[in-house]
Structure 1
C-alpha cells in the first residue's frame, strides 16, 4: 500500500475526539418529545415475531413433508421450529411482564430470561432423539435456521413500515 493510500484510509475514519466534535449536542427529551418519538418509531412486538416464527415453522415443516413425502422429516422440522418458538415465547413472556421496572432491573430480567431461553433450547435439542421418532437432524436444523432468520425479517419489516410512513 502506498504512503498516500494509507494516509487516505487513516483520514477516512473519525478520530478519538470525533464524538465531541459533532455539531448536534446531546439533548434530553421532554416527556412530550419522548412520546412523539415513540409514536413515530413504535417497537416491534415480540409476540408478532414469535407468531411469525411459528407460522414460518409450520410452512417449512409442511413443505418438507410435501416435497419428501416422509412424515419423520416433517416432524423433525416441526420440532426444530418448536425449539426456536417455545423458548422465544418464554423469553417474550418473561420480559414483557416487567413493564414499570427500572433500567437495571430490565437489563437483569432480560439476561435472566435469555439464559432460560438458551437452556430450554439446549434441553429441547438434547431430548430431540427421544421425542421425535426417526429424527432427521438436517430437517430439524433447517427449520431452526429459517425460524431464527424471521427475527431479521421483522427488523426489515419494521424499517419498511417506517419508510412508508415517512413518505406520507
Structure 2
C-alpha cells in the first residue's frame, strides 16, 4: 500500500518509489559537492570590477565624466546587491524553507526597485552623464556573478 494519501489510478502497479530520503551522512556529502559562493564575495568583486573599469574608462577617454558614468553604472549594481546580500544573510532568512523563499523574493524585489531608482536618478547625480559608459559599468558589474561562480570552491571528489 502506498505511503502517501493519493489513491493510485486504475491499472497502476504498486512500485517502490524511486525517491528516498537521504541520511544525514549522505546529505552532508551532497552539500560538500556543491560550490559555495558568499554573496559578500560577489559584492566585493562587483565593486572592484567597477572601480577598475571606471579608472580604465577615465584613462582611455581622458574625460572625467566618462569615468564617473562607468563608476555610477557599477554602483547601480553594487549597492542593490549589498542590500540583497544583507537581507539574505539576516537572522530571519534561515528560519525555515518558507521564510527563506519569501525573503528571497522580497529582497530580490527590493534590489530591482533600488536599481531602477538609482538609474532614474543617474542624470541628476552625475554631471555630464554618458549613458553608454554607464551601461558598460552596469554590465561589467553584473557579469561578476559568473566570474565568482568560475572561481568558486570546487566540489570534492566522492571517495567510496
* Correspondence 1:147 to 2:141: yes
Q: Which residues of structure 2 form unaligned runs of 5+?
A: 1-16
* Correspondence 1:109 to 2:111: no
Q: Which residue of 76, 82, 100 maps to 2:69?
A: 76
What is the CA RMSD across the aligned residues, in angstroms? 2.0
Q: Which residues of structure 1 form unaligned runs of 5+?
A: 1-23
Tell me how far apart the structure 2 counterparts of residues 42 and 77 of structure 1 sit (CA, whole Å).
31
Richer in helix (by share): 1
Tell me how far apart the structure 1 counterparts of residues 100 and 94 of structure 2 sit (CA, whole Å).
9
* Correspondence 1:162 to 2:144: no
In structure 1, the partner of 2:60 is 67
* More divergent stretch after superposition (33-42 vs 76-85): 33-42
Alignment of 1:112-127 (within 5 A): 112-127=106-121
Number of residue pairs aligned between Structure 1 and Structure 2: 142
SS across alignment from 1:107: helix
Q: Which residue of 13, 29, 47 maps to 1:36?
A: 29
Deviation of 1:28 after TM superposition, in Å, equals: 1.4
| 8 A Cα contact 2:87 2:93, kept in partner | no
Deviation of 1:41 after TM superposition, in Å, equals: 2.3
Q: 4+ residue stretches of structure 1 with deviation over 4 A?
A: none
Q: Deviations over 1:112-161 (max 9, x none)?
A: 00000000000000000110111110110001001111111222223xx4
| 8 A Cα contact 2:46 2:78, kept in partner | yes
The higher relative CO (CA closer than 8 Å, separation ≥ 6) is in 2
Alignment of 1:1-80 (within 5 A): 25-80=18-73
